[in-house]
Amino acid sequence: MTNVKDRAEVMREAAEPGSRIGLTELARSSAWRSTLKKRGLLEIVDRTDTAAYLVSVEAMNDMLDSINALESEIERVTAQQLFVARGEREDWKAGEELEREAQESLRRRADAVREFLDGER
């Protein structure tokens, strides 16, 4: 629910007067600088089309921090899903048993590659 509220707040702020500036006004005046400093983000419009977004250093750093946090969360969830998916296959081996299983696995893989190369698959 908070995510929806945050998105709604961003949309509301973007729709407020002063959050958009025309391309010609951007070129002719520097009054937009104080607005950028206050808001952190300005939409640059050419007639009615969005031409660009102007982002302050602080707002850009905040966005990058948010992106990094989301990427970290994705990595954490992905790793967690891998552990859950592999949870049923916990068959730990050690010593000679591990060596024997590893060699057998490598032999099976080599045989599969040979079959593929020989056209048997």
The span from the CA of 29 to the CA of 69, in Å, is 37
Q: Structure pTM?
A: 0.52
pLDDT given at position 99: 92
The 10 Å CB-count burial string (b at 16+, else e) for 42-65 is: bebbeeeeeeeebbbeebeeeeee
pLDDT < 70 stretches in the chain: 1-2, 10-18, 88-90, 121
pLDDT given at position 28: 92
pLDDT given at position 1: 53
Q: What is the pLDDT of residues 70-97, one digit of tens each?
A: 999 999 999 888 878 777 666 777 889 8
